[in-house]
Amino acid sequence: MIRLDKFLSEFNIGTRKQIKEILKNGRCSVNGLVALRPDLHVDENSDTVKLDGEVLSYKKFRYYLINKPAGVVSATRDGKNRTVLDLLDGENLRDVSPCGRLDADTEGLLILTNDGELIHRLLSPKRHVDKVYEVHLEKEPDDIAIQKLESGVDIGDLREDGSKDLTLPAHVENAGTDPDGRAVILLTIHEGRFHQVKRMMESVGNKVLFLRRIQMGPLKLDEELLPGQYRELTDEEISILKTS
């Protein structure tokens, strides 16, 4: 059960004062009866709440898939730059945050949700969730470079005892070249270290020119989404993420 004013606030329809005015004017009903009291308790799972005749469907958890464009930061707020939340115009973003981060100049798949358990499941270092990146490179990696990447490379991180902390073994797949003739690989990693892909390429004498995440766990980037566009995850996608 939840207070009616709190229920209404979940839909970003106004401030507490504005919600009180909405109720005072009889614009809200619960199970067909006009509701005037903000402290009225409703069952968000079974009661029918309407505002101006339109049903308000309550969702405890919200899940969005966004194709993050370059120049937008993976944060809930930033004093200088646009954030991924700024792209979800008009949505109920209470407690919603990015599931992991992409560098400001990196594009691609990013999940945003207020489901803390799912975020932990996808980001926990113990789970080694696959992350697949489309990597455009300055030059084509040779067999030696690929072997090093797939074995684990030194990107400068150290363990607590001061020893080298190599990256986990990765998987490299040749994806040909882009329209500009640059070498493209698909790189699968299982961690989320700071600037990890760029540092891995630097460790084998290469440079990332363009980077896009195309898959996280079983979820693939929706190719119909242009950079900056988003959609809600389907029930099937949510179930797969939670059970895979």
What is residue 32's three-state secondary structure?
Answer: coil
Q: What integer pLDDT is reported at residue 179 of this predicted model?
A: 96
Q: What integer pLDDT is reported at residue 224 of this predicted model?
A: 97
Q: What integer pLDDT is reported at residue 157 of this predicted model?
A: 95
Of 108, 117, 111, 106, the closest CA to residue 209 belongs to: 106
Q: What integer pLDDT is reported at residue 93 of this predicted model?
A: 87
Q: What is the pTM of this model?
A: 0.83
Locate 80 and state its tokens. Answer: 């200088």
Q: What integer pLDDT is reported at residue 153 of this predicted model?
A: 98
Residues involved in catalysis: 103
Cα separation of 64 and 110, whole Å? 8
Mean pLDDT per 10-residue segment, the chain (244 residues): 89 88 96 95 91 89 97 93 92 90 97 96 93 98 98 95 95 97 98 96 98 98 97 96 90
Helix (H) or strand (E) holding 33: strand 33-34
Q: What integer pLDDT is reported at residue 32 of this predicted model?
A: 95
Cα separation of 33 and 31, whole Å? 6
**Taking a C-beta distance cutoff of 8 angstroms, is the pair 96, 113 a contact?**
yes
Q: Domains in the chain, start-ordered, CATH in brackets?
A: 2-55 (3.10.290.10), 60-127+220-244 (3.30.70.580), 130-216 (3.30.70.1560)
